[in-house]
């Protein structure tokens, strides 16, 4: 009985702390992208990042004897990894490199909960209540207000960058829904290896065809790579998959509305980027929207 009580307490603690920690970790990804951009080609950076994650997780999974997915489970994990890491993350990095402002990239991410909520009903059978719809809408407005001062010169954005950015967000939506439908039996230790391998192969191919392979071993790049591997690819991604598995996918993805606000706060602390009254108000609205969308 004591073990059961201890397990329930640990699960409850994770449920309470995971959303806030996930938002902080996910938001830091934009800071990492800014930190390493002057020192590496974007897809080349992702190739190294994915390879290191696999090099860490695969021996660990083998050492502890974790079960490896087979058959349909292997295919499902590979599809999720291809969509979530390969297409989404690779697409956003590529689009930003080719002229998509970071503000638009964040705004595209803000569209994702709306798209997910629209598709969750017919594809997952999740009922989206009026209160949750109101929270989703309020969160989107708040996220847009945070990003609005950073959006400018949209007429000059290359069409190909916009198209790839939209496709990347679509891939993230498809990946989260696919993960929710098929990932209940996924072992996080081995499933992540399969997912990152499925992302590594196409990313490496596109990088070889389109980039020079620039990867300068500067202190900034090393620090960014370390955090991208440990904090983001292992920490944040695992938390995302666990939250999708344990809860409603609409409820989980609504947390992304907080990412632009937290990223702006990190940029203010780390790079001295200022925030005006409109952005601060947007942060409050986004937080209120997420709170409303996540109420039972």
- In this prediction the pTM is 0.75
In this structure, the number of other CB atoms found within 10 A of the CB of residue 64 comes to 9
> Above 50 in pLDDT, residue 198?
yes
Report whether 50 contacts 85 (CB < 8 A).
yes
Mean pLDDT computed over 183-192? 82
Looking up tokens 């609005």 gives 148
Q: Is 118 left (phi over 0), alpha (psi -120 to 50) or beta?
A: alpha
Region 64-70 average pLDDT: 91
CB atoms within 10 A of CB 294: 18
Domain ranges in the chain?
Answer: 2-293
Query: Sign of dihedral through CA atoms 131, 132, 135, 137?
Result: negative
Residue identified by tokens 């990190």 is 266
pLDDT band at 221 (very low <50, low <70, confident <90, very high): very high
In this structure, what is the dihedral angle of CA atoms 265, 112, 90, 82, given to the nearest 10 degrees? 130
Tell me the mean pLDDT in the region 195-221. Answer: 94
pLDDT tens, 269-279? 766 666 677 77
> Which tokens in the block code for residue 212?
């020079």
Task: State both tokens at 209.
Answer: 């065809």
User: Per the structure block, which two tokens stand in for 257?
Assistant: 């509305």
């Amino acid at each position: 009985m004591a073990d059961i009580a201890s397990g329930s307490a640990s699960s409850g603690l994770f449920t309470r702390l995971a959303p806030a920690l996930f938002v902080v970790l996910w938001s830091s990804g934009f800071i990492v992208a800014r930190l390493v951009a002057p020192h590496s080609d974007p897809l080349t950076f992702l190739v190294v990042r994915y390879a290191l994650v696999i090099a860490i997780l695969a021996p660990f999974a083998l050492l502890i004897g974790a079960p490896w997915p087979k058959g349909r489970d292997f295919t499902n994990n590979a599809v999720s990894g291809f969509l979530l890491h390969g297409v989404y993350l690779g697409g956003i990095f590529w689009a930003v490199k080719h002229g998509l402002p970071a503000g638009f990239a964040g705004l595209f991410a803000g569209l994702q909960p709306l798209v997910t909520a629209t598709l969750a009903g017919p594809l997952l059978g999740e009922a989206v209540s009026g209160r949750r719809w109101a929270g989703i809408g309020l969160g989107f407005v708040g996220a847009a207000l945070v990003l609005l001062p950073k959006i400018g010169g949209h007429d000059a954005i290359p069409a190909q960058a916009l198209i790839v950015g939209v496709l990347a967000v679509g891939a993230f939506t498809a990946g989260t829904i696919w993960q929710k439908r098929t990932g209940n039996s996924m072992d996080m230790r081995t499933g992540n290896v399969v997912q990152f391998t499925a992302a590594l192969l196409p990313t490496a191919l596109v990088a070889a065809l389109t980039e020079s392979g620039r990867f300068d071993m500067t202190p900034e790049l090393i620090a960014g790579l370390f955090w991208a591997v440990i904090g983001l690819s292992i920490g944040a991604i695992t938390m995302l998959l666990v939250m999708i598995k344990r809860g409603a996918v609409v409820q989980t993805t609504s947390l992304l509305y907080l990412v632009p606000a937290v990223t702006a706060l990190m940029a203010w602390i780390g790079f001295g980027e200022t925030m005006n009254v409109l952005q601060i108000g947007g942060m409050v609205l986004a937080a209120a929207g997420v709170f409303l969308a996540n109420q039972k």
